[in-house]
Amino acid sequence: MSRIARVALDTPLDRLFDYLAPDAEAADIGRRVEVPFGPRILVGVLVELGTHSEVAATSLKSLQRIDRDTPPLPADLLALARFAAGYYHHALGAVLASLLPPALRRGGRPARAAEPAAYAPSETGRGELAGIDTRKPAQFALAARLLAAPVVRAELNGREKALLRDWSKRGWVQGHAAPTWPADEAGPVAPTPTPDQEAALNAIRAAGAGFSPWLLHGVTGSGKTEVYLRLVADTLAQGRQSLILVPEIHLTPQLTERFAQRFPGSRLIGLHSGLADGERRAGWLAALRGDADIILGTRLAVFTPLPRLGLIVVDEEHDTSYKQMEGMRYSARDVAVWRARQAGVPVLLGSATPALETWRNAKVGRYRLLGLAARAHAQASLPKVRLIDSRTDRPKQGLGKALLAALDAALQRGEQSLVFINRRGYAPTLLCNGCGHVFPCPRCSAHLVLHRARAGYRLVCHHCGLDTRPPEACPDCGGVDLRPAGQGTQRVEEALAGHFPQARILRVDRDTAARKGAFSAMRERVAAREVDILVGTQIVAKGHDFPHLTLVGVIGADQALVSPDFRATERLFAQLMQVAGRAGRAEHPGEVLIQTRYPGHPLYQAVARHDYPGFAEAALRERRAAGFPPFVAQAVLRAEASSEEAALGFLLAARESGMEIGKSLAPGVEMFDPVPALMLRIAGRHRLQLLLQSDTRARLQGFLGHWLEALAKLPARGAKWVLDVDPVDV
Ligand code: ADP
Ligand code: ZN
């Protein structure tokens, strides 16, 4: 009887491929395999075994190799991948490929895959290592290190690595998951939970094992992380693994440190796209083998294989970084909830400003709501928010009198301030004072942003990267009075330096934080009080705990109130609450000044009251009235092409076929006309989109299944298209 292996390959074709595999066994399901595919050898995952194929036996090829050095992907992960592939309408092979670490997507024997993240002496090796002679200083030193604590591979030089390979062959040392904290150091004592924390923990513990979804709502500093830590402790005690998701790579070092300190004996790994391939593979394999106890990572970590999974936490669950914007457009938060359901474990979503979808899920009882009302630190209170009317206190170069006075006072007290402006560069536009001409990007529907570089000013496109020298004269009227209009971080930094020449000012935005390690260096400078005033975009607003920062100034926030994106106000509210949360975290009370032309706006009023529920209820009422999510389910078909006609032509044909399906097979889905995307043109590509919505996800999904089959058969006419289920930017 011939054995047929069905293999998921990373091709856009949503089907499995059959190969002859005489020696494959059931235990090989979930393993990486190498197969011939046309002229190439591809890496795929064996997902099913069968005995017959629809392909003629003579044209079937054979599996080239089954990777039995790596444990197979567990069945629950395969099931999760199938679920995600089905829900997001993405090819299973592509989903499986994207959940492998890059180093395991390539073929060939992973020669170095066996190298562990760290080494520790084996039982028998201890004696041998202790017996190494001092006359071999390098060996002696390395042996001494090993006997004291596991040695991390990434910290070794080439010679030491070679020694360890040798000792490993002799059986003196064995692999060990990388410890991030010396094992002999005792963790700090956990603080006694506040009554709110206690209540939250009791509720979750009382629910027992099994799936239960929770929303932990608490302002920054209310002690959410402390709740996570306690739940992780419970999970460790059960001998199970915890998966902790965070929105940003930048946030992982801080949190990793806190977890490592609390659980010195446990094996903790980080997983995010900033890791070197080897590190990521090592961490992933440690998780897959069940060696790692705590996995802390960004959205991609939601697909980590975890044979002993016991708990999932999604911190800052509202953060849009959980949504993947390319390839399979998934929401890691939503996948986390499905995963918890499937694995039968609790999932805890934490936020000071939950996504409106999540808040509603809690309100209708799908999630259970837990609240942390006050700040955990006994002395810390919420910052006072002042709305500064910029119609009367008119800002110069972005800064009004009230904000300048507050900054001055903070400087006098020797305390730190943060000026938040969510625009990088010098000025959002360069303007001709003669005719009002602004400089558009020739390839995108956006203005060029004025930046200040070492060699003078530049005009830069934030979408396609175009970077040119500003012209001497206006191309329209020939006038030479060209002026920057509006503020960006660089201009505010310059203005602050003019007002406070003695202050030490640090700008933090994507331009200054781009280099690896730059971000943590900045954090350290602020923590060491080498900085008086921070100027930055939202990247400084997230999750940083600076105890001496007592003043936050917000400028340029009004912009979001006039955005065509219906989610812009939700994001603004979350950003303002988050940035306000930076002020006064420890013993120092904080103050937040928001410069706005609309101090009476309900959004700002809610920020001033620190009133998330008030904001959320009002926003949900508006969404319901307008028929927006979460009251409807949406999907958007995006098409892009070198001409608008091509993209539009494809979408019109797609709409046509959708109408047929709606009439006959799957009714109840509303289809809108194709419209330009929020950014019509990026890098010369025209982008249009077609929005679909329905009262229920099930109805929408039923429709999409049929529709995508039809779309695959439509001529693309030079357009590239992609489906986005539950889009966050339409
Ligand atoms: P969040 O994650 O909500 O921002 P954290 O858990 O980081 O809040 O807590 C904020 C601060 O309060 C931290 O410095 C933390 O150590 C402290 N903290 C948390 N819980 C307690 C507690 N029960 N008693 C004393 N301090 C606490
Ligand atoms: Zn551009």
For residue range 431-457, list pLDDT tens digits in order.
999 999 999 999 999 999 999 998 899
For the chain, counts of helices (H) and of strands (E): 21, 31
The answer to whether 408 and 615 are in contact (CB under 8 A) is no
Q: Is the pLDDT of residue 540 over 90?
A: no
**Given ligand 1 and candidates 226, 227, 318, which is best to mutate, with the most ligand atoms within 8 Å of its CB?**
226
Shared domain check, 209 and 167 = no
Residue 478 lies in a domain: no
- Both tokens of 189, joined, read 């004592």
Task: Clarify whether residues 305 and 199 are in a common domain.
Answer: yes
Residue 189: band (very low, low, confident or very high) from pLDDT cuts 50, 70, 90: confident
| One domain, residues 719 and 642 | yes
Q: Which residue's structure tokens are 């305390």?
A: 415
Give the mean model confidence (pLDDT) for residues 519-534.
90
Considering 20-24, 227-231, 584-588, the range whose residues carry the highest mean pLDDT is 227-231
pLDDT 10s digits, 57-108: 788 999 999 999 889 999 999 999 999 999 999 999 999 998 999 989 887 6
- 386 has pLDDT over 80: yes
CA angle 574, 579, 583 (to 5 degrees): 140
Looking at the structure, tell me whether residues 553 and 669 fall in a common domain: no
What confidence score (pLDDT) does residue 185 get?
44
The answer to whether residues 246 and 326 belong to one domain is: yes
Report yes or no on 333 lying in a domain.
yes
Check residue 182 and give its pLDDT: 40
Q: Is ligand 1 within 6 A of the CB of residue 353?
A: no
Question: What pLDDT does 180 receive?
Answer: 44
| Runs of H (alpha helix) within 122-275 | 125-130, 137-148, 158-169, 195-207, 224-237, 252-262
Q: Whose CA is nearest to atom 9 of ligand 1?
A: 223
pLDDT at residue 124 tops 90: no
Give the CATH number, domain containing residue 666: 3.30.70.360
pLDDT above 90 coverage of the chain, percent: 68
Q: What number does the ligand 1 atom closest to the CA of 227 have?
A: 6
Judged by average pLDDT, the poorest of 28-37, 336-345, 532-541 is 532-541
Q: Residue of the nearest CA to atom 19 in ligand 1?
A: 223
In a domain, 440, yes or no: no
Question: pLDDT value at position 1?
Answer: 56
Helices 356-363 and 612-626: angle between axes, nearest 10 degrees? 90
CATH number at residue 233: 3.40.50.300
Pocket test for ligand 1, best of 198, 225, 229, 262 (most atoms within 8 A of CB): 225
pLDDT band for 520, please (50, 70, 90 cuts).
confident
DSSP string computed for 3-15: -EEEEEESSSS-S
Q: Are residues 246 and 356 in the same domain?
A: yes
The response to whether residue 191 sits with its C-beta less than 6 Å from ligand 1 reads: yes
List Cα–Cα distances, 73 to 40, 288, 304, 346, 531, in angstroms: 24, 7, 10, 22, 48
In-domain check, residue 261: no
Residue 403 has a pLDDT of 98
Other Cβ atoms within 10 Å of 477 Cβ, number: 14
User: At residue 545, what are phi and psi to the nearest 5 degrees?
Assistant: -110, 100
User: Ligand 1: distance of its center to the CA of 585 in Å?
Assistant: 10
Are residues 150 and 37 located together in one domain of the fold?
A: no
379 part of a folded domain: no
The rounded distance, in Å, linking the Cα atoms of 385 and 582 is: 12
Name the E strands within 403-481: 416-420, 429-432, 449-453, 456-460, 467-468
Q: What's the alpha-carbon Rg for the chain, to the nearest Å?
A: 28
Q: What is the pLDDT of residues 707-729, one digit of tens each?
A: 999 998 999 888 999 999 999 98
Whether 113 has a pLDDT exceeding 50, the answer reads: no
Q: What is the pLDDT of residue 273?
A: 86
Q: What is the pLDDT of residue 112?
A: 47
Distance CA 677, CA 644 (A): 11
In order, the DSSP letters of 326-381 are SSS--BHHHHHHHHHHHHT-EEEEEESS--HHHHHHHHTTSSEEEEE-S-SSTT--
- Find the mean pLDDT for residues 670-678: 93
Which of 617, 613, 619 lies closest to 569 in space, CA to CA? 619
By the 10 Å C-beta count (0-12 exposed, 13-18 middle, 19+ buried), 192 is classed as exposed
- Per-residue confidence (pLDDT) for residue 643, from 0 to 100: 94
The residue with tokens 């929303």 is 215
CA 561 to chain centre: 25
Please check the confidence at residue 184 and state whether its pLDDT lies above 50. no
Residue 435: how many CB atoms within 10 A of its CB? 12
Tell me: do 568 and 706 sit in the same domain.
no
Is 261's pLDDT higher than 70? Answer: yes
Would you state the pLDDT for residue 109? 58
Confidence of residue 646 (pLDDT cuts 50, 70, 90): very high
Largest separation between any pair of C-alpha atoms in the chain: 86
Token output for 442: 């020739």
Any domain includes 111: no
Same domain, 167 and 219: no
For residue 196, give the ligand nearest its CA: 1
Interval 398-424 mean pLDDT: 96
Which ligand minimizes its atom distance to the CA of 378? Answer: 1
In this predicted structure, what is the pLDDT of residue 377?
Answer: 67
- Assess whether the C-beta atom of 422 lies below 6 angstroms from ligand 1: no
Measure 727 CA to ligand 1 centroid, in angstroms. 34
Please name the residue whose Cα sits nearest to atom 15 of ligand 1. Answer: 223
Domain that holds residue 684: 633-725
- What CA–CA distance (Å, rounded) separates 659 from 353? 39
Check pocket membership of 194 for ligand 1, CB cut-off 6 A: yes
Of 586, 605, 623, which closes a domain? 623
Domain count, the chain: 5
- pLDDT tens-digit readout, 553-569: 999 999 889 888 899 99
| Element at 664 (helix H, strand E) | helix 644-664
Q: How far apart are CA 314 and CA 354, in angstroms?
A: 11
Give me the long-range contacts of 106-114 (CB less than 8 A, separation at least 24).
Answer: 106/43, 107/34, 107/41, 107/42, 107/43, 109/65, 109/69, 110/67, 110/69, 110/70, 110/281, 112/278, 113/69, 113/70, 113/281, 113/285, 114/69, 114/175
pLDDT of residue 111: 44
Is residue 286 situated within a structural domain? no
Q: What is the DSSP letter of 592?
A: E
Which segments of 423-556 are extended strands (E)?
A: 429-432, 449-453, 456-460, 467-468, 482-485, 505-508, 533-536, 549-554
Report the C-alpha dihedral over residues 389, 391, 397, 398, rounded to 10 degrees.
30
Low-confidence winner among 44-53, 339-348, 631-640 (lowest mean pLDDT): 44-53
What is the CA angle 371-373-378, rounded to 5?
135
Return the amino acid letter for 368: R
418 and 492 in a single domain? The answer is yes
Provide the token pair at 372. 């942390």
Considering 591, 623, 655, which residue would you say is the last residue of a domain? Answer: 623
Write down the pTM of the prediction.
0.86
Predicted confidence at residue 586, as pLDDT, reads 62
Q: Is the pLDDT of residue 269 over 90?
A: yes
- Per-position b or e across 324-361, b if 16+ CB within 10 A of its CB: beeebbbbbbbbbbbbbeebebbbbbbbbbbbbbbbbb
Residue 187: the pLDDT is 56
C-alpha–C-alpha distance, residues 411 and 394, integer Å: 22
Pairwise CA distance, residues 60 & 126, whole Å = 52
Same-domain status, 52 and 151: no
Task: Name the helix (H) or strand (E) containing 654.
Answer: helix 644-664
Nearest ligand, measured from the Cα of 587:
1
Let me know if 715 is exposed, middle or buried by CB neighbors in 10 A (0-12, 13-18, 19+): exposed
pLDDT (0 to 100) of residue 598? 96
Could you tell me the distance, in angstroms and rounded to a whole number, from the CA of residue 441 to the centre of ligand 2? Answer: 5
User: Is residue 183 scored above 60 in pLDDT?
Assistant: no
In this prediction, residue 636 carries a pLDDT of 97
Out of 61-70, 138-147, 387-396, 482-491, pick the least confident: 138-147
Query: Could you tell me the strand order of the sheet in which 118-121 lies?
Result: 151-152, 118-121, 173-176
Whether 341 maps to a domain, the answer reads: yes
Does the beta carbon of 225 lie inside 6 Å of ligand 1?
Answer: yes
CA 201/CA 39 separation, integer angstroms: 57
Q: Which of 226-230, 585-589, 603-607 is predicted least confidently?
A: 585-589
b/e map 599-636, b = 16+ CB within 10 Å: beeebbbbbbebebeebbeebbeebeeeebbbebbbbb
The answer to whether residue 155 scores a pLDDT higher than 90 is no
Residue of the nearest CA to atom 4 in ligand 1?
Answer: 221
Residues 6+ apart with CB under 8 A from 119: 146, 150, 151, 153, 164, 167, 168, 173, 174, 175, 176
Residues 423 and 493 in one domain: yes
Residues 6+ apart with CB under 8 A from 121: 129, 146, 147, 172, 173, 174
- Closest ligand 1 atom to the C-alpha of 581? 4
* Average pLDDT value for the chain: 90
What is the residue with the minimal CA distance to atom 5 of ligand 1? 223
Residues with CB in 5 Å of ion ligand 2: 441, 443-444, 461, 463-464, 466
Categorize the per-residue pLDDT at 177 as very low, low, confident or very high, splitting at 50, 70 and 90.
low
Q: What is the pLDDT of residue 12?
A: 79
Beta strands in 605-684 (DSSP E): 633-641, 669-671, 675-682
Distance 224 CA to ligand 1 centre (A): 7
User: At 322, is the pLDDT very low, low, confident or very high (cuts 50, 70, 90)?
Assistant: very high
**17 to each of 11, 24, 75, 87, 283, how far by Cα in Å?**
10, 15, 19, 21, 30
What order of strands is seen across the sheet that includes strand 40-50?
17-20, 4-9, 40-50, 32-37, 65-66
Residue pointed to by tokens 């020694």: 163
Last residue of a domain, one of 62, 82, 105: 105
Instruction: Please name the residue that has the structure tokens 């399901």.
Output: 29
Shortest CA distance to 332 belongs to which of 367, 288, 298, 368?
A: 298
Write the CATH number for 92.
Answer: 3.40.1440.60
